[in-house]
Chains A and B, each alone.
Chain A
Amino acid sequence: MPVSLADILALLPEILLSLGALLLMMTEVFLAGARRGYQALLAALFTAAAFAAFLAQRGGGPRVLFGGFAVSDGFALFAGATICAGLLVTVVLGAGFLAPRSAERGEFYALALLAAAGMCLLVRAEDLLFVFIALELMSVPTYALVAYLRTGDRPSEAAFKYFLLGAFSSALFLYGAALVFGATGRTSLSGIAAAGGGKLLLAGLALVIAGLSFKIAAVPFHMWAPDVYEGASTPVTAFMAVGVKAASFAVLTRILVTAFGAPALAAVWQPLVVALALLTMVFGNLLALTQRNVKRMLAYSSVAHAGYLLVAVAAASRGFSGPSARGEAVSSLLFYLAAYTLTTAGAFGALAALERMGPDPQPWDLDRFAGLAKRRPWAAAATAMLMLSLAGIPPTVGFIGKLLVFKAAVDAGLVPLAIAGVLASVVGLYYYLRVVVVMYMQPAPLGSVPTPASWPLDLVLVATATLVLLFGLAPAGLANAALSSTGLLGG
C-alpha cells in the first residue's frame, strides 16, 4: 500500500482532533488542578483548527488516499466541516453545562474529540473495513460519553441501551459487509460497484442498510433514541443528535450511491429508503406530538428530521434520476445536514440553559420554558428562532433546507414522497410552536427557581440563532458551497 506524505496531510483534521484528545487526556493526569477552564479552551482550539483544515482543503479535486481506503472529496470536506461545527458547539455546551455541576473533566473533551475524529474518517471512508473501524471509533467513545455524568440511574441506563443497540447494529453492518465481500470478493466501494453480484449481495446490502438505520435512528430502528437522548447529559445528547447522525447519513449515502449505485441495485434499495423515509417522517412527528418533556420531544424531532434526510438519500438514487438531479439531491442533503446541525445543537443548548440542577424527576418539562420571554427576552427570542427553524418556517435556514430537499425529491420523480414530507412537517409545527407559545404567553409557575445564566450557554444560543437567521435570509453562500461539494457522488 503506497502511503505518501500528501495522503497523511489530507487527514490533517482527524490528526488534529486525535492529538487534541491525547493531549487533553494527559492534562487530566498531569495538570489536573481545581481550575479546568483551560481544557474547554484547548478542545475548542483543536476543533476550530480541524474545522479550518477542512475549509482549507476545499477547492482541490477528489483524491483517493491510502491506495483506495479513503477519499478526500468535496462531500467529505463539507460533511467533516459540519461535524466539526457540531463538535465546537458541543464543547462550548459542555463547558457551560458541566462546570456549574462540578463535572468538568478532560476526559469529556477527549472522548468527544476522539468520536469526532471517527466521524470525520467515516465521511471519507471508501472501503468497508475503513467504514467499520471509523464507525466504531465514532461509537465507542460515544457509549462512554453517554455514561459520563454519573448522577442517578439515568445515564448508566441510557449508556447501556445505547451500547447494546449500537454494538448490535455494528454487528449487523459487519455481517452485511462480510456477505458483500463474499459476493464480490472486494471491500472497496468502487470495487464492489464494478464487480456486481447476485442474491448474496442483496442480503449484504439489506444488512448494511439495517445496521446504519439504527445509527441514524430511522423508524422502525429508532426505539433506543428517545431513552438514550433523555438519559444522556444534554451536551452529549446534542453531540449524538448532530454528529453521529450527520456522519452516519454521509456514509450511508456514500455506500448506497457509490457501491450500490448500479440501476439494478438502486431499484432494490430506493423503495426501501422511500419506505424508511415515509415511516420515519410520519411516526417521528406523531410521537413527538404527545411529549411534554422537551428533551424527549427534541429526541423524536431528531427522528423526524432523519426522515427528511432520508428523502434526500432516496432522491440521490442513480437509477431513477439523471446526473444533475443526483447532484442536486446530494447537495440538498449536505445543506440540510448543516442546517440541522446548527439548529438542533442550538435547541439542545436552550434546553441545557434551562435545565434544573440537582435531582428532579422532571428537569425538562415544558413548564421550564414558561415566562422565559419576560425573564430573559434574548434567550427567548433565540430559542424561538431555533424552534421556527426546526419547524421549517421562513426566514430560517431550516425552511431553506426543507425546500431544497423536497425540490430534489420532486426533480427525482418522488412527488408523493415530497407531499408526504410537507404534510408531516405541518404536524411538526404544533409541537415546535407550542414551546414558543409557552415562552411568550404563559407566566412562570409559582415558586419555580430559574436556572442561573451561564455565558457559554448563552453564547451558543445567540450564535446558533444568529447563524440560523443569517443563512435563512442569505442562503446562497451555503447553498452554493453545498452544490459544489457533491464530490464523487454528484454527476
Chain B
Amino acid sequence: MILPSAYLVVGALLFGLGLCGVLVRRNALTAFMSVELMLNAANLTFLAFARHPLRGAPSLDGSAIAFFVIAVAAAEASVGLAVVIAVFRSRGTVEIDALRSLRH
C-alpha cells in the first residue's frame, strides 16, 4: 500500500528538481526537460489530490485536468523543440551560455 502523502512528496521532489534544473543547467535541452519535470510534478499532485482529497469525496476533476495538461504540454514541447532546432541551426550549439547576442 502506497500512502497518499508519498505521491505528494514525490511530486514536490520532482518539482524541486525541475526548478533547480532550469536555474542551474546550462544546456538548452536539459533545461527544457527540467520544465517538463515541473509540469509532471504538478500533474502528479493533481492526481494525488483527486484520488485522496483533503476535503470532500474523491472526484474526477483532478484526473481530467491531468489529461488536458498532458495535451497542452505536448503542444508546448513541440514548439519548444522547434525553437531549439532554430537556435541550433543559427549557431551550431544549444549551450545557454552561448546565447549572448542580446546582452548589453
Point out residues on A near B: beta carbons under 8 Å: 129, 132-133, 136, 139-140, 143-144, 147, 150, 152-161, 163-164, 167-168, 170-172, 174-175, 177-179, 181-185, 187, 195, 200, 226-227, 230-231, 291, 293, 296
Range of interface residues on B (Cβ < 8 Å)? 35 or more
Whether a CB of chain A sits under 8 angstroms from the CB of B3 is no
Q: Is the interface of A mostly helix, strand, loop or mixed?
A: helix
Using an 8 Å CB-CB cutoff, how does the interface string of B80-104 with A read, 1 for contact, 0 for none? Answer: 1011101101110000000101111
Nearest residue (CB) in A for B28 is A160
Nearest residue (CB) in B for A187 is B61
Using an 8 Å CB-CB cutoff, how does the interface string of B40-82 with A read, 1 for contact, 0 for none? Answer: 0111011011000111100101101100110010011001101
Instruction: Known A132-B72, A178-B49; judge A153-B42 contact (CB<8 A).
Output: no
| Known contacts A136-B72, A183-B54; 10 further A-B pairs (Cβ under 8 A) | A129-B65, A152-B101, A154-B102, A157-B101, A157-B102, A163-B80, A167-B39, A182-B8, A182-B54, A291-B104
B55 touches A152 (CB 8 A): no
A174 touches B31 (CB 8 A): no
> For A185, what are the chain B residues with a Cβ–Cβ distance below 8 Å?
49, 53-56, 59
A181 touches B46 (CB 8 A): yes
Could you list some 23 contacts between A and B, CB below 8 A? A129-B64, A129-B65, A129-B68, A133-B72, A140-B76, A144-B83, A147-B83, A152-B101, A154-B101, A156-B89, A156-B90, A157-B102, A160-B83, A163-B80, A164-B28, A167-B32, A167-B35, A167-B80, A168-B35, A177-B42, A178-B11, A181-B61, A227-B103
> For B18, what are the chain A residues with a Cβ–Cβ distance below 8 Å?
171
Nearest residue (CB) in B for A151 is B90
Point out residues on B near A: beta carbons under 8 Å: 8, 11, 15, 18, 22, 28, 31-32, 35, 38-39, 41-43, 45-46, 48-49, 53-56, 59, 61-62, 64-65, 68-69, 72, 75-76, 79-80, 82-84, 86-87, 89-91, 99, 101-104
**Per a CB cutoff under 8 Å, which of A139, A160, A171, A230 touches B38?**
A171
CB of A110, distance to nearest CB on chain B (Å): 14
B86 touches A159 (CB 8 A): yes
**Per a CB cutoff under 8 Å, which of A129, A150, A179, A226 touches B45?**
A179
Instruction: Known A132-B72, A187-B61; judge A164-B54 contact (CB<8 A).
Output: no
B79 touches A175 (CB 8 A): no
A153 touches B53 (CB 8 A): no
CB of A458, distance to nearest CB on chain B (Å): 29
CB of B69, distance to nearest CB on chain A (Å): 7
